[in-house]
Each structure stands twice: as structure tokens, then as C-alpha cells.
């Protein structure tokens, strides 16, 4: 199983927060669309979890 390096994850998350589309992030980073979507769900879940703790 391949694991996305932290630098790539940071690049993807940064692009998402800047408002880039998923397809443009695929072109910029070379990360597969499904991987970007999975990362987006993971980050969203963690953010939601952090909000419920505060």
C-alpha cells in the first residue's frame, strides 16, 4: 500500500483551502482524485472532532 508523504498532503490541503478545484490539484501535484477526496474526508472528520472537543 502506498502512503502519501506529509509534504504532498500539505500541498493538497493548502490548495484545497485556497479554493483550487480537485482536478487542478491533480494536475499540480500528480495525486489521484480519489486520494484527494479521501484526504479531504479525513481532514474534515478531524476538524469536526476538534470542534466538538472545544
pLDDT averages per 10-residue partition of the chain, 54 residues: 93 97 98 97 89 78
Q: Give the pLDDT confidence score for residue 50 in this predicted structure.
A: 76
Q: What is the pTM of this model?
A: 0.85
Residue 54 to residue 11: CA distance in whole angstroms: 27
Is residue 25, in this structure, part of any structural domain at all?
yes
Segments in the chain forming alpha helices (H): 6-17, 22-29, 33-53
Q: Give the pLDDT confidence score for residue 1 in this predicted structure.
A: 74
Provide the residue range defining the domain that includes 15: 6-53
Q: Give the pLDDT confidence score for residue 53 in this predicted structure.
A: 77
Number of domains in the chain: 1
Residue 11 to residue 23: CA distance in whole angstroms: 14
Q: Which of 20, 53, 34, 44 is nearest to 11 (CA)?
A: 20
To the nearest 10 degrees (0 to 180), the angle between helices 33-53 and 22-29 is 110
Q: Give the pLDDT confidence score for residue 16 in this predicted structure.
A: 96
Amino acid at each position: 500500500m502506498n502512503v502519501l508523504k506529509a509534504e504532498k498532503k500539505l500541498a493538497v490541503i493548502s490548495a484545497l483551502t485556497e479554493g483550487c478545484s480537485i482536478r487542478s490539484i491533480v494536475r499540480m501535484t500528480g495525486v489521484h482524485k480519489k486520494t484527494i477526496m479521501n484526504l479531504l474526508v479525513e481532514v474534515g472528520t478531524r476538524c469536526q472532532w476538534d470542534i466538538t472537543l472545544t
